[in-house]
Amino acid sequence: MKIRDLEVFVVGNPPPGWGGRYFTFVKLTTDNGISGIGEVYCATFGPKALTAMIEDVFERHVQGTDPFAIEALWRRVYGAGYTLRPDVSLMGVLSGIEIALWDIKGKALGKPVYDLLGGRVHEKLRSYTYIYPDTAAGQDDSIYWNAEQSAARAAHYVKLGFTGIKFDPAAPYSAFDPRQPSLESLELCGKFCKLMREAVGTKADLLFGTHGQFTTSGAIRLAKRLEPYEPLWFEEPVPPEKPEEMALVARATAIPIATGERLTTKYEFARVLECRAASILQMALGRVGGLMEAKKIAAMAETVYAQIAPHLYCGPVEGAANIHFSASLPNFLILESIETWSGFHSQILKKPIRWEEGYVIPPTEPGLGIELDEEVARAHPYTGDRLHLEMNPQPL
């Protein structure tokens, strides 16, 4: 069995657009007709350039190869062009391809992917959601800086069954970060945590998100405001490029530090673990290097009692990969959901991801256990040229 064909889908994510402007799916097909689906999480280039990169990697390294030979393929791509170092764009491309190869392997063997990753440890996976506006009630993005409205939404999610709620009121982020938080921002963050805790009591963990906006000292100042409300984590308090600074934040607060959505490969995560910068790792499977690389990182984390909470700001294919990965982990903590996997995240699949009362139920079908609805994908092409995510280009 050899890999024969590639198809790339750049799918526009219709309003409200949660999970990003578009999703980049890759479909690989073998010479005996088995297809696998993967998802690339690359925000550094626009969709046309990204599609060209996927096609280039496929033609150079994937076409005509054995879908089971993932380790050898990974090294060839990782070293392409005399690199042998973490390259976030290249690893995004490789991740999507690698996920599709696991889907093919599972289908060829008649096994769910988690069975090929060591077997299923968890029958169900605790999940959390970011707070999103109630668009049916006319809410908009202003809810992200409105503590009262966000607290009411948190209570709504708890009624649905969620036991983890994530929010980020700590001000916008820019390409010129890190910076000190303003007194106004510190006050707002404290207010959010206070009202959130009052709204959910002990029924849900509070997950405080930031995006590397703050200096080390600024992050420590913010952590002191948050500590009385006992968040489960303080996410990416400083930029990801120097984990030694994040480690100083970790030592200065009782709140667990979480990080990893912008990191790629075992090598970057090794630095985080070596300096004890975080005790919760949030790799994005469509960027980190794929399922096998993520499994290696999880094993490294296990040796220092760090836990895994896969990140998701993508489509449901990366979400499905997260599910199989998490189901196989002894050190799994919690899984990110886009609300209850409804809306476009369910429409793009022929069978939606199963979510029940705060938990995701891993599928039992072979491979990833999902099937992309290609008619829906083709009916929603992304025709713009913006990046999947964009930072403020001016200092704040």
Active site residues: 211, 311
Report how far residue 247's alpha carbon sits from residue 214's, in angstroms, rounded to the nearest whole number: 14
- Please check whether residue 129 is in contact with residue 156, taking contact to mean a CB–CB distance below 8 angstroms: no
The closest alpha carbon to 99, from 121, 53, 67, belongs to 67
Quick one: which H or E segment has residue 26?
strand 22-30
What values do phi and psi take at 331, rounded to 5? -110, 30
Q: Quick one: how far is CA 263 from the chain centroid? A: 11
Report how far residue 222's alpha carbon sits from residue 86's, in angstroms, rounded to the nearest whole number: 31
Radius of gyration of the chain (CA): 20
The two structure tokens encoding residue 14:
């219709």
- Please check whether residue 236 is in contact with residue 211, taking contact to mean a CB–CB distance below 8 angstroms: yes
Which SS3 state, helix, strand or coil, does residue 82 take? coil
